[in-house]
Every structure is written in C-alpha cells, then in structure tokens.
Structure 1
Amino acid sequence: MFSFLRPNAGPACPPVAEIAAAVARGEMVLVDVRETAELRGSGKAKGALHVPLGLLALKADPQAPDAVMAPGKPVVLYCASGGRSGMAAQTLRRMGYDPVWNLGGFGDWVAGGGQVDRA
C-alpha cells in the first residue's frame, strides 16, 4: 500500500495466500516484528512467530540457545506499516537469511485475506 515508506522493501513479496500455504506446510517462516502491546490489540497473522524487532538479531542467531529460527527457509516479515519489517529484512539478510521479504504491515496481511490469531 505505502511501499514508498518502506526502507529497502526488497523484492516483491509473494501473495498472502501463497505465504499462508507455505507457512502451514512448514516451508516458510512468517515473523511479526511488532511489540507485544500491538499484538494485544489486533492479534497476529495465523502461523506467525512473534519476535519484536529489538530481539530479532538474538532470536535469529542460530548459535543462540533460545533461537527461534535459522537460515534455510524463506522468511516473510511484517510490522504495523512496513518500516520496522524493512529494517528486520536488512538484519536477516546480513545474517545470511535468503530469501527474505518485507510483506509490509499487518493491514496488508488482512487485506490479502490472511487469517488472524487473536491473543
């Protein structure tokens, strides 16, 4: 929607339906980088991991004892509007993750027909 606000948006993201199907099959990782308070109000995309942007580098480090992801699967990120997920995509690319896409905002997930898990 507002892709001009997304720093380094990167390559075009797959459609929401394709992402949802790949996440359900375990072939792709979907990550919500918003803060916990933001999820309380809206929920999160079905199947998404919640890793706030400030913790992403730690939680994505395969050497960390509490890592929640590792390079090897495609990653799609989103936040509230696309800015933080753009920064998160840059971080993951520097860490060796590939491919990495910035979906944009949670509203883009919903507008694309994505299901929501209410917290």
Structure 2
Amino acid sequence: MRLAILFLAGLFTLAGAHAAEVDQAAALETLQDEDSLLIDVRSAEEFADGALPGAINLEHDRIAERIASVAPDKDRPLVLYCRSGRRSSFAQDKLQALGYSRVINAGAYDDLLPLLERGE
C-alpha cells in the first residue's frame, strides 16, 4: 500500500512539473506583433464551439506534424491556448523541442477572451 501511494505521488509530481508557466501578459504583448500566430490547441469540436478572434486550430496531439505548414519560420512568435493551459503547455514543450524559439503558453480560453475583448 505504501509503495502504491509513493508511486502515485511520484506520478502527480511528474505531471505537475511538466506544465510550463502561463504568461498572459507576454501573450497579449506578443499578439500586438502582426507576425504573431495565435494557435488554439483544443479539439476541432471545441474550436467550432468558440475560438479567439484570429486563432487557427492545431490540436495539441498533432501540432508537431502540422506546425511547419503554418509556421515554417521557427523564430515566428507563437501564442498557444486551450481550455485550461495544460494542453497548450504540452504543445509548447513539443514546439520548443522542434526548435521554435518564441512560443508562449497563454493559458485558458475563458481567461483570455475577456482580456482580448477589453483590448488589454
């Protein structure tokens, strides 16, 4: 029993350590750059239910194979978001591993929408 608890605690620690920090301020500033690309990494169904203005949809689990078709320049500023920030964190890690140098995890759709509507 003790071993199972330690194992589960280790898994939760690893999962938490994987998440990249959400930086909404940097995301909003980066979106002022007309070369920036706003990427919704949620599912196609979630995207169809509502997305941020100007966003394109590249699902997080396919982003590595599809990113070059929309952003061949690895220095292009990329701003990622999802429902909670978790999938955008995984996508950020994948893109950085591919050599993309300006990738920002903007976090959750519901948190970003009012900020963009207010023009912050």
Q: Same fold (TM over 0.5)?
A: yes
Whether the 8 Å contact between 1:5 and 1:83 is mirrored in structure 2 is: no
Match of 1:21 in 2: 32
TM-aligned CA deviation for residue 91 of structure 1: 0.4
Question: Is 2:84 the partner of 1:76?
Answer: no
Q: Cα distance 1:110–1:11, how it changes in 2: closer, same or farther (>3 A)?
A: closer
Unaligned 5+ residue runs, structure 2? 1-15
Whether the 8 Å contact between 2:22 and 2:106 is mirrored in structure 1 is: no
Higher radius of gyration, 1 or 2:
2
- Mapping of 1:24-35 within 5 angstroms? 25=34, 27-35=35-43
Query: Percent identity, aligned pairs only?
Result: 27
Please tell me the root mean square deviation across aligned C-alpha atoms, in Å.
2.5
Q: Cα distance 1:15–1:29, how it changes in 2: closer, same or farther (>3 A)?
A: closer
Tell me the alpha carbon deviations over residues 85-117 of structure 1, each in whole angstroms, 9 at most, x when there is no partner.
0000000000000111100010121131348xx
The alignment partner of 1:44 has SS state of: coil
Given the alignment, which residue of 58, 62, 65 partners 1:55?
Answer: 62
TM-aligned CA deviation for residue 5 of structure 1: 9.6
Unaligned 5+ residue runs, structure 1? none
The alignment partner of 1:96 has SS state of: coil
Whether the 8 Å contact between 1:20 and 1:114 is mirrored in structure 2 is: no
The alignment partner of 1:112 has SS state of: helix
Tell me the alpha carbon deviations over residues 5-31 of structure 1, each in whole angstroms, 9 at most, x when there is no partner.
981226665153x34432xx2x21110
Match of 2:89 in 1: 86
Q: Cα distance 1:49–1:112, how it changes in 2: closer, same or farther (>3 A)?
A: same
Letter in 1 for 2:113: V
Q: TM-score, normalised by structure 1?
A: 0.73
Question: Is 2:43 the partner of 1:38?
Answer: no
Higher helix share: 2
Match of 2:11 in 1: none
Distance 1:34 1:40 in 2: 10
